[in-house]
Structures are given as structure tokens and as C-alpha cells.
Amino acid sequence: MDAVAVIESDVRDLIRRSALDPVVDAVEIRRVIRDAVADYDDRSISGALPRLPDLDAAAKSILDAVAGFGPLQQYFDDPAVEEIWINEPTRVFVARNGIAELTPTILTTAGVRDLVEKMLRTSGRRVDLSSPFVDAVLVDGSRLHVVIPDITREHWVVNIRKFVAKADHLDDLVRLGTITPQASRFLEAAVVSGLNILVAGGTQAGKTTLLNCLSAAIPPRERIVTAEEVFELKIPQRDVASMQCRQPSLEGTGEVPLRRLVKEALRMRPSRIIVGEVRQAESLDLLIALNSGLPGMATLHANSAREAVVKMCTLPLLAGENVSSRFVVPTVASSIDLVIHTALERDGVRRVREIAAIPGRCEGDVVEMADIFVRRGGELQRADGFPPHIERFDAAGYRLPELLAKGE
């Protein structure tokens, strides 16, 4: 057993005897580790024990193993790493600035299971044969997703999406090159004016970050209620009530789906409702809420603004056979005002590709759309369309023709 392993074993014994919690008692844990390393270094002077070449490195390694996530902690500490995933113990990947790379980290099968159990400890969620999938949020806000055999072929498959706060406001997205200053000013005005906004894109396209930045423009006196599968949104406002779904118990009871959360949100005096991601029948309840005059925002997986609208016309049909497209299509046309499509480009930069308006009209099963901003030649440029509800912009103190003037 090497020197670091010896000290780690001693530290774990001290933590158990002292009844310390690595999450709650982080300062005390650091002190225990620091004292244990210093004590070992003093005892090794006699030559009876192997020396530690670097005391700081040894203390960091022990801290990662005891209070962190072991070999993966270095990637949690790296601000450039956005996501960590494990396909098998010998294949650990990370995404840095949107680009995937295979790491030199080698784990064991038991080590992966121990890491997952440690990550789930504070979430109250579980993964086992009866529930082979799990979604959870770590203490630092990262999102964990795990799938186990026999759903996977052989190994536990783990995805950890870190919450890397590169942008909190629309101005930050301008700095990162996601949107142009004119598009930023327009979107801020649209949020303040109470337009209903749908953010669309693929995985890792920056939908949640964009939704967070849009929510920062909501007037501070408004009450915001959010509904999510797991907590991901970080709304920078003072009056926010957040809810997440709940897994069923071992007996199969107690599940709280997203559709229930959307319904409950309407009873919580919301000024705005925000749904983290629309996937299934909850889209119907969201449309009904938006159609009743309650402003809101949501995200959706789609490859374009047009496909996002088509999907919003399709998902509510999952709510039941009594829901028809004759009701859904006109409701989408009158409930959604703007669709923003964002994407992760090959260079690792997330960029808004288009901002489209829905004027409120439909022809048959096709919802009419108008491009406000489109990306041409690598630049997000002003198109010819205008958003609906110009009177709302006027009431909020914005001059829409000036906001959307070409050449700005």
C-alpha cells in the first residue's frame, strides 16, 4: 500500500469516528486531511514509512477521494470541461468547450458503481434493476444520468452535464458570439413585453443557458414558477418557485410527472411560467396556460424553428385521443410568439441560427411563420419579419421599428 493510500485509510477512520459529513463539514474534513498528511510526513522522517514527494498533491488526492468524486474530480474542477461521460471503466470522455476528447483516466467496474452511489447519496434517488435509469442533480448543480445493464450491453453508462455558468444575461451571450447586439436588445424587449418564447435546438446546443439568460430580463416584480424533470435552471431573479419531477417509489407509487407540475404551477400565482423542457403530453397543459394570457417560456429538442413548431403541434396529441390537431394547431399559432433556434457548431461555439415569429395565423395544419433574424454567411442578420403584439412593445416602452431597423 502506497503512502497516499495509507493516509486515506487513516482519514476515513477519523471521519467515521468523528461522524463528519463530507458535504456539510467540508472545512473540518480539509483540516483532518491536512493534519493527517502533516503527521504522516513527521513519522516518515525516521525512514520507517515511505516519504511523500509532494504534500499538497497528496492532500488534494485524498480530498478528492474522500470528499469529492475520486479520479473524476479533476474534471469537475476544470472550468473548461462542460460534460463528463463514461461508456465503460476504461473509456472516460469529457467535452471541453464543446469538443469531445478521450481522457487517460482508467476506472474499475466497482469504482464506477461506487462513484454513482456517492453521487446519488444527496439526491434521494436510486438506480437498480427495477429502475435502471436515473436522473439526478449533484450538489454543485451538475446533472447526472445513469443507465445500467441489462438495458446497456455490459457496463454502467454515466453522463454528467456540468453547470458551467459562462453566461447569466443576454449581454454575456453577445460577448460569447452566440447572438448579435441587435438580436440581444430585441429578445430583451420581447421578454419584458411578455411574449411567449420557445427555445429549440439539439443536445448541448445551449438551450438551458439561453433560457436562463432570457429569464434574467424578466421584470423583477414578477413571480416566476418553473417546472423541470430535474433542477437545471438558475433563474437570476428574486421571486422564483422551482419544482422538479419525482420518481416512483419501490412500490410504484408517488411519481410526480412534469404534466402534474405544469398544472400545479398555475395554482401558485405565477406571473410567468417556465418549463425546462417539453417532451410529451405536458405540452398540452403548457399551451392551455399560455393561451389563457399567462406569459411563459420553454425549451424543446428540434433541428430548426419550423420543426419546433411542428413538434409543438404534435406532442399535445399524446395527451389523449380526444385531443385533435384541429384544436392544437390554432392554439399553437395563437400561444407561441417567438421561436429561437440555437445550435452547437463544429468549432464548439453555440450560436443562435434563427429567431422566428408566429403571427398567429395558420392554414390547414400549417402554422404561419416569419423570420426575424436568420444566419447568413456565418452572421445572424435581420430578416423581413416582425413579431406579433406590437402594442405590448409600445406598452413596455420599446420602439419596435427602431429595435428591428436594418443596419443596426
Band of the pLDDT at 34, cuts 50, 70, 90?
confident
Q: What is the Cα–Cα distance from 351 to 179, expressed in whole angstroms?
A: 6
With 90 as the cut, is the pLDDT of residue 307 above it? yes
Q: How confident is the model at residue 368 (pLDDT cuts 50, 70, 90)?
A: very high
What span, in angstroms and rounded, lies between the C-alpha atoms of 111 and 86?
Answer: 12
**For residue 400, what pLDDT is reported?**
93
Phi, psi for residue 133 in degrees, rounded to 5: -120, 150
Tell me if 263 sits within 8 A of 243, measured CB to CB.
Answer: no
pLDDT computed for residue 348 by the predictor: 82
3 state DSSP class of 299 = strand
Q: What is the DSSP string of 143-191?
A: EEEEE-TTTSSSS-EEEEE----S-SSHHHHHHHTSS-HHHHHHHHHHH
Instruction: Give residue-wise pLDDT tens across range 166-225.
Output: 788 999 999 999 999 999 999 999 999 999 999 999 988 999 999 999 999 999 999 999
Cα 408 to Cα 404: distance, rounded to the nearest angstrom: 8
Q: What is the structure's pLDDT at 62?
A: 84
**Tens digit of each residue's pLDDT (9 = 90 or more) over 279-305:** 999 999 999 999 888 999 999 999 999
Side-chain-facing half-sphere of 157: CA atoms under 13 Å: 10
180 to 1, 63, 350, 380: CA distances (angstroms): 57, 43, 13, 7
Q: What's the chain's average pLDDT?
A: 90
DSSP symbol at 153? S
Written as nine digits, the cell of 131 is 429502475
15-30, pLDDT tens digit by residue?
888 888 777 777 888 8
pLDDT tens digits for range 67-115: 889 899 999 999 889 999 999 999 999 998 878 999 999 999 999 999 9
Q: How far apart are CA 217 and CA 214, in angstroms?
A: 6
Grid cell 420602439 — which residue?
A: 399
**What is the percentage of the chain residues whose pLDDT exceeds 90?**
62
Asked whether the predicted pLDDT for residue 392 surpasses 80, the reply is: yes
Neighbours of 57 (CB within 10 A): 11
- Residue type (1 letter), 211: L
How far is the CA of 35 from the CAs of 16, 47, 278, in angstroms? Answer: 16, 20, 50
CA proximity to 390, closest of 352, 337, 329, 340: 337
Q: What is the pTM of this model?
A: 0.83
